[in-house]
A and B are shown apart, each in its own frame.
Chain A
């Protein structure tokens, strides 16, 4: 291990290390972050949800957007898979259907970055509950 000789050295190591536990930090304060849930039940996976999720994670990472991407079970919109629920802090969750890579790109650029609503929103009449 290289010696940490100055406070600046320490902060450099901190930055590197922080990226490794960012996921933990973020999930500790989810309400302050953009939360994205990808429906990953059988129906979702069959429709390409895995790729969508991978794409979202990588792109958000690339653009340094602090977001928590998690997988969830079936959201009940099997007809519109892959489905993705996006919760921007202090806003109500919005569910998008048919999210392929292109749609995902659009969600990031329009909704997440600029807050503009885009097509493909499934009207929400339920709340995610844990029972």
Chain B
């Protein structure tokens, strides 16, 4: 690789050719401020419009200032990142951004987590010399995402996520000049668009322009209603990320403290979505084996590959984009909805209360879950199986609001019966986890033999599309994995073209899977955070005594007492669903 010599702030440095000034500077500890730029290395995600102009630097001999994020280094470059000209320009640009941004930091949902606020502080902005008209737009709310685009600074990160990464194509820049803003086409409402509510726009928004719909108020109201029994389920990815909200190192597992906090918040029973994840494996794994069995028996009509269906954004995505392929995904409901269905029947019966008096709250790494629990097919007599879905971030806010010192909490255990889970369920929280869990069970059910190993490294990682062949005792099962809807689209197009070689495919909408969900603590563009969460998830799996879903004793009991067997009529009624053409 060719190298180039240059100086940055008078420091000589030798770097490889083709990298940017920003990268070269960061290599020698010079932290050039950026606002619109975002790069998630291992996920192949980059937003580099060169639009905010915060990262400008002075390059000797150049007429104007150069944006460090998109200017490549070349030999002999002399760069100054903090000359008076640069600082003046950077501050002026920042003042301009702020001059068109609402001044409601004190009451903004993003306060304390806002990249714009941090940058204003870093640049030491104390007054705004250029005051004037501020752009105003209509606020837009949807079942999952709020858009308050007065606060949009045109960084275009959401647009990159929505278009390049997710290929959903809802958000893009509209209007010209001062009126430019990122919005759905024709400024339509998000809930009229093909938005999947994956929440990746929310995950990367540097300001409060895009946020989740806040449901903490509803949860507080339910908890204070003496006539209600309020139970909570918590998704696997939450335990690997919640600690970050309390200044704990990324990747710290806080399962025990999470349970303790939920108990202190006043939930009557603290359950685990992991239990329902095990249940999902029973149903989905059985469905896979059924289809596979028919296929092996020569049935030409059977739909293969089977696609996982636990991600609500993914479900909405194919309902909009590939309606002709709705018979390919598994019919199994997501763990959140399986939990709700069992809670409001089996568990309500056990407590001897009416479903209306049982409130199910879920803690999710996801904003699409808010939308999912509102879908009509998941309601009985207008009473939803899951009443409120709140994100990891909202839970953190509730804990802070309730004066709980999270860090000093003891480790506590989930309640039974819906709190017992296996390692297979935990790994639902990362890309590749669902299919690995399914393999662990399907292998043993199919071969009637014990798995020689439990860790399928070939299914793990951060590559956007992965594939592996698992030997089911002589039967090679070809597995595909995609995370990020753009990657999912590629595999779907292969299926459409009849080119897919897979038997089963796992799809997660968010890059990294649920650990990178739109409801997780903000990663602020640092991909290491996601990688550490992934490590934590696999660690939790290792720590579990039972690591195969079909060995979960409470799952076994649930089938004996209530459901009969996987894919039974009752299971079908409570645990499976159907899809709708949304085109």
Chains A, B in direct contact (C-beta < 8 Å): no
Q: Please report A residues at the B interface, Cβ cutoff 8 Å.
A: none
